[in-house]
Amino acid sequence: MTASAPPPPEPVPPRAALPTAAAGATTPTIPRRALVLLVILTLVWGTNWPLFPLAVREVSVWTFRAFAVVIAGSALLLVARARGQSLVIPRKHWRVVATATFFYLVVWNIATTYAAVLLPSGQAAVLGFTMPLWSALITWAVLGERLSARLVIAVLLGGAAVTLLMVPSFAAYASAPLGFAYGLTAGLGWAIGTLILKRGKVEVPATVLTGWQLLITAVPTVIGAFVLGDGQWFMPTWQSIVVIAYISLVPMCVGNVAWFAIVGLLPANVAGLSSIMVPVVAMISGAIVHGEPLGPLQWLAMVCCVASLSLALLKPAAPKPEHG
């Protein structure tokens, strides 16, 4: 009786199928979809900040925030349902979603609310968008991830841009240190929430995820509106209603969906840096809408932002192989 032949060895996967990190690559390939989403995010969020003073002319910030998150969250879930998407978030993801929502949307909304009360909105925006710097610091110091040289330079340029935008406002920060602290807390909360969501790998469409996160945020915000809001019922003018509806449906719906989609497409550090142009657009919009100053410091900050994004998002050309 002859012995049967041993089974053939398992095929070795081709080298190209190995993970990018195993091949030694240090710079990720940026999907074209992420770049398109980045442009949308920058425009809708950047042009949003000058509208805040118009939105709260007749209602409190808490009332405005409460209506905005309820409208935005409900609209996104209706869109998701119309597109045939399931509105169910698997039970295993709820802890990650709730924790990320607390740090990102709840802390962000509350902290920026108080920062905007104590400081001009443009200055509060600049402080809130220190998020990429917090994200890089947490990733390196807490999570132990190494930053590539390109990303370190990108973070430094982003920090320089934020600092340049803050320079004209140092006097305001000194006179309202609590507003300064609230603004930085907003950026820190955004960074922590983004990293939690990125590492949690929540397998839910961005529209559904954003809708539920906004409705979770609505719970403490609506309570705050009843406790700290206007204290009486009245109908605002149609101008205020239009501004609040626009902010709810465009920056909050479209902007947040674009942001969570970018988080799913890019590494956390690069996703954080992708928001660095937003305060620059906010400054330009403020100059157009409210006549806010736009001088050499602001233009230099824009140059730093462009350089930072170029280093973070644009992959260097691969060296050509030598023949012979």
pLDDT digits (tens, 9 = 90+) for 229-257: 777 778 889 998 999 999 999 999 998 88
DSSP string, 242-263: HHHHHHIIIIIIIIHHHHHHHH
Give domain status of residue 313, yes or no: no
Here the tokens at position 210 are 């954003």
Percent of the chain with pLDDT over 90: 21
* 320 has a pLDDT exceeding 60: no
Give domain status of residue 227, yes or no: yes
Task: Supply the mean pLDDT for the chain.
Answer: 79
Predicted confidence band of residue 268 (pLDDT cuts 50, 70, 90): low
* Strand, coil or helix: 315: coil
Q: Which pLDDT score, from 0 to 100, does residue 1 have?
A: 42
Predicted confidence band of residue 14 (pLDDT cuts 50, 70, 90): very low
CB 183 within 8 A of CB 119: yes
Flag whether the pTM goes above 0.85.
no
Host domain of residue 194:
51-146+176-267
Give domain status of residue 218, yes or no: yes
Give domain status of residue 239, yes or no: yes
Here the tokens at position 36 are 């398109």
CA dist 113 → 45, 93, 119, 224, 228 (Å): 16, 28, 10, 11, 12
Here the tokens at position 96 are 């990650």
pLDDT tens-digit series, residues 38-64:
889 888 988 887 888 788 888 888 888
- Name the nearest CA neighbour of 286 among 123, 98, 154: 123
Q: Which pLDDT score, from 0 to 100, does residue 45 have?
A: 87
Give domain status of residue 123, yes or no: yes
Give domain status of residue 39, yes or no: no
**Count of domains for the chain:** 1
Give domain status of residue 44, yes or no: no
Give domain status of residue 119, yes or no: yes
